[in-house]
A and B are shown apart, each in its own frame.
Chain A
Amino acid sequence: MRRRLLIGVLLSCMLPLWHAQAEEAIDNAAASIIASVEGKNDFHAHMARKLAAIAIHERRDRDREDAREFINMASQHAEQAQGQEEQESP
């Protein structure tokens, strides 16, 4: 019984740490996406920036599921922006 209680206390203490790590991962992903489209002004680059910003906003509202979803969408647009650049270069 005591052991279970101890494990429960430990887990509850670790939860904020996991949350912090997850939030940090979202922030890092958003920052990486924004950096990847820096200097680009096409539609997909703008979409990637704006969706990454929304992801950060959602993360601050403790809505990590939505934040991840927006990060995924931002990442897809960033890839399309990269693809467009490759197509345009000779």
Chain B
Amino acid sequence: MMRLWIALACVAVLAACGTTPVNLAYELDLAKKAIADAREADAERCAPELLADAESSALWAAHELAEGFIHPGVTRPLIDSVLASAKEAQRTAEEKCPKLPPVVIPEPVDIDWSAPPPPPPPEPDPEVIQLAPQEIIVLEGVNFEVNSTELTPSSLTTLDKVVNTLTRRTDIRVEVSAHTDSTGSGAYNLKLSERRAASALRYLVEHGVDPAQLEAKGYGEARPIDDNATKAGRAKNRRVELHVLNEQ
């Protein structure tokens, strides 16, 4: 029986401790933290009434606690009200005044206005053909007479540009490819294209291109680029190309 009374007494003491001023003070501190969070969210500007509600209630609760727990029935509801108002103020402020990402102002760039302007990019040399790796360039104007390996005089201007290019760009290798139209047998056309490729290559070497940069190949009629049924198409198919192989 005695043990039961002791146990009941302990329960009563513990229950009484549940609402001590110490606990209320701790809860008030938590509520003040909620007010600080609301202020951080700019509640003073965006939810002034709710924040004022929370702050005034917090002041009142602090007074009640300072009086030594005289009105316990008033203090706890006050602290609960502080917490609720502060959280509502924070939520409202975040909704009404969402924080924008900070504006990053770039560092000022010092421009030396007295310095001369940068030189303009060099204009492309009309006597040089611009070559890129793996590129295929049809040498416009390089033609042959029908069934002939002799270069026409109009072809020489284009081939001179190739000479200019390859003597300046000794770092690249090219394949000189010759093609025919479909007139005649395939075997004949293949041989003819090989001779035309060799003819173009010979011209380039004779005019100063390193033979190590060059490779000649005939494709015959196998790779037409236009219709062999028309005269204009056949003229286009009789052509010489430069295949940029790689950089040496």
B59 touches A73 (CB 8 A): yes
CB pair B52–A46 under 8 Å, yes or no, is yes
Of A5-13, A15-23, A26-34, A47-55, the stretch lying at the interface with chain B is A47-55
B135 interface residue (CB < 8 Å to A): no
Cβ of A85 under 8 Å from chain B: no
State whether A51 touches B56 (Cβ < 8 A): yes
- The minimal Cβ–Cβ distance linking B46 to chain A, given in whole angstroms, is 10
Tell me, yes or no, whether A24 is within 8 Å of chain B by CB. Answer: no
Q: Judge whether B53 is part of the interface by a CB distance below 8 angstroms.
A: yes
Residues of chain A with a CB closer than 8 A to B60's CB: 54, 70
A38 at the interface (CB under 8 A from B): no
Q: Does B49 belong to the interface (CB within 8 Å)?
A: yes
Closest to B51 in A: A43
Q: Please encode chain B, from 29 to 64, with 1 for each CB lying within 8 Å of some chain A CB and 0 for all others.
A: 000000000000000110011011101110110010
Q: Is the CB of B59 within 8 A of A66?
A: no
B50 (CB) vs chain A CBs: closest residue: A46
Residue of A nearest to B71 (CB): A61
The residues of A that contact B44 with a CB separation of less than 8 Å are 43
List residues of chain A with CB within 8 A of the CB of B49.
Answer: 41, 46
Return chain B residues, CB-CB under 8 Å to A47: 52, 55-56
Which one of A46, A51, A66 lies within 8 Å of B48 (CB-CB)?
A46
Task: List the A residue with the shortest CB-CB distance to B49.
Answer: A46
B75 to chain A, nearest CB (A): 13
Name B53-107 residues within 8 Å CB distance of A. 53, 55-57, 59-60, 63, 67
Give the distance in Å from the alpha carbon of A50 to the alpha carbon of B48 in the complex: 12
In the bound complex, what is the Cα–Cα distance between A69 and B59 (angstroms)?
Answer: 11
Separation in Å of the B34 CB from the closest CB of chain A? Answer: 16
Provide the bound-state CA to CA distance between A72 and B107, in Å.
Answer: 50
Chain B residues with CB under 8 Å of A66's CB are 63, 67
For the complex, give the distance between the alpha carbons of A47 and B153 in Å: 100
The residues of B that contact A69 with a CB separation of less than 8 Å are 63
Contacts of B59 in A (CB 8 A): 51, 54, 70, 73
Report which B residues bind A (CB closer than 8 A): 44-45, 48-49, 51-53, 55-57, 59-60, 63, 67
List 15 A-B pairs, Cβ < 8 Å.
A41-B48, A42-B48, A43-B44, A43-B45, A43-B48, A43-B52, A45-B48, A46-B49, A46-B52, A46-B53, A47-B52, A50-B57, A54-B59, A54-B60, A66-B67
Chain A interface residues (CB < 8 Å from chain B): 41-43, 45-47, 49-51, 54, 66, 69-70, 73
